[in-house]
Structures are given as structure tokens and as C-alpha cells.
Amino acid sequence: MAVSLSPYFSPSTLLQSNFSANSSSTSPRFLFSLLSRHCRSGQSFEFSLRHRSQTAVVSAISGSPGIGSSSSVSEETMTNSLDSVKVVDLSGNEIPVSDLWKDRKAVVAFARHFGCVLCRKRADYLAAKKDAMDAAGVALVLIGPGSVDQARTFFEQTKFGGEVYADPNHSCYEALNFVSGVGTTFTPKAGLKIIQLYMEGYRQDWKLSMESDTVNRGGWRQGGIIVAGPGKTNISYIHRDKEAGDDPDIEEVLGACCR
């Protein structure tokens, strides 16, 4: 059974106001209630927007600024913490996360979790610039909190053009001090972006999203993007998502990694 948003996102409340972020329909309380009802049902989830003559317009969500190369990250505590963190590749091999950029420069994206629809968009948004990264000799990596099986499923579903690793202990996220909390997950901007992505054809994988470890530990923590290497302690750029779906401008990332 699909869940329709049309009773809540009606033309009078959304389309005439161009999805105003001030609408009660996009409040964190509303989004939490809607998603909670769906999660309990375990059924497929689709957005259905019905309208007469109006056209739905969703504004782009601007990202929060990261720390660029002009202010190189030199947080000794953070880099020391990362040095002891291990991630797991798709073959099940443990690798120190800093080895991913020890001998090369890499753009490393951190997903909220492997089922997240916003993270699937992040994967595509970065993979679309992989040619530029390849030309500059920069690797593209995505890390997600969860199991190797979840990482493999994500890789198979998205056909991601870079490398994918699992962080079963969520240690990268703690070391990088990524933000966490319900209030950073169910926000008006995140809700609008989810609607936009569903209209573009993206879908959440609810089976991955509802695995116990993701629900209990990973569902409320946000991710980010770093540019690191060569050198284990050389992190030249870091963007910490302020809320779900808070992607930085892609030109900012390219400026940090490839120019």
C-alpha cells in the first residue's frame, strides 16, 4: 500500500505557496509523524502530489559552508582519532580509514545511512563529477554507517562510480564530530528536498533504513564530505552537514579537490 501525501500537501497549502517552509505541512513534527506511521506499516512509500492547473516548484536547498583549503583543517585530535578507525570494503576486508587517502587525494562522502534517499542523491551528485576528479587524480569514496551487506546492496542499487565502504561501529562519524539528533533529521528543508527527490524518481530503501542498527544508532546522525590526502593527517576540506540533505555546492568541493 502506497502512502499518499495529497491529503497533507494539497494545492491550497503547498502549490500556491511554492512549498513555503513556513507551512505546517513541512514542520518537523508533521514529517516525523508521517514517516513514523509509514515505518510502522512497513509498506512501500511513494509521494503523490495532485494538482489542477498549478505547477509545483521546489527551490534548491543551499548547503552550509565547509572549511575550505584557505583554512586547512589541522585538528590534531580529529586526525589522531581517525588514525585508529577502520572501515570495511565490499569484500569484507578491514582497512584503516586514513589509508584511503594516505597515498592519494580523495573526496570522501559520508552517508547518513545506506537506505537514505538523500544519500542516494549525494552519491549521484558526486559521481556526476567523477571525470573531473579522475583527470585530477582524485579518488571518489563513499562511507556509510552499517554492515558490509548494507554497503553491497547500496552499491548494487546505485551503481555508484566510486569506492564504497562500511563503518560498522560508526567510528568515523564520532571522530569527525558529525552532528546528530532528531532535530537535525526532520527539518522543513529536508522535507522539501525529499519531495523533490521523489518527484525526480529517487526512492528510499526502507528495508535497509529499518534494520535495527540503523534505527538505534545511525538514523539520526548526519554525514558530511571531506577532501583528504595525500598523507594520513592531511585533511584540507571538511563539510559537516547541519541537517539531512545539506550538500555543499559541488563547485566548492571541486575547488578543494581538483583546482
- Domain of 98, CATH number, reads 3.40.30.10
Measured distance CA(140)–CA(108) in Å, rounded: 6
Q: Is residue 44 part of a domain?
A: yes
Same domain, 35 and 104: no
Indicate the pTM of the whole model. Answer: 0.71
Of the three residues 57, 80, 95, the one that is the final residue of a domain is 57
In a domain, 244, yes or no: yes
Strands (E), the chain: 86-88, 94-96, 105-110, 138-145, 163-167, 224-228, 235-240
Residue 117 to residue 128: CA distance in whole angstroms: 17
pLDDT digits (tens, 9 = 90+) for 163-187: 999 999 999 999 999 998 888 888 9
**Do 97 and 177 lie in a common domain?**
yes
Do 219 and 118 lie in one domain? The reply is yes
Write the pLDDT tens digit of every residue in 111-168: 999 999 999 999 999 999 999 999 999 999 999 999 999 999 999 999 999 999 999 9
Same domain, 198 and 120: yes
Alpha-carbon span 238 to 124, nearest angstrom: 19
Residues 79 and 52 in one domain: no
- pLDDT, residue 210, reads 77
The more confident residue out of 229 and 28 is: 229
Are the C-beta atoms of 143 and 108 separated by less than 8 Å?
yes
What 3-state class would DSSP assign to 221? strand
Residue 47 pLDDT > 60, yes or no?
no
Q: Are residues 155 and 207 in the same domain?
A: yes
Q: Do residues 103 and 137 touch, judged by C-beta distance below 8 A? A: no
User: Residue 45 has what pLDDT?
Assistant: 39
pLDDT single digits (tens) 192-217? 999 999 999 999 998 887 776 666 66
63-112 tens-digit pLDDT: 344 444 333 444 677 777 898 999 999 999 999 999 999 999 999 999 99
pLDDT for 21 equals 36
Q: What is the DSSP letter of 148?
A: H
| Residue 190 and residue 125 in one domain | yes
Number of domains in the chain: 2
CA distance 143 to 161: 13
Give the end-to-end CA distance of the chain in Å, rounded to a whole number.
49
C-alpha–C-alpha distance, residues 244 and 247, integer Å: 9
Range(s) of the domain holding residue 104: 69-258
Residues 98 and 152 in one domain: yes
Which residues lie closer than 8 Å to 149 by C-beta, 6 or more apart? none
The confidence score (pLDDT) of residue 213 equals: 67
Report the amino acid identity of residue 26. T
Q: Is residue 63 part of a domain?
A: no
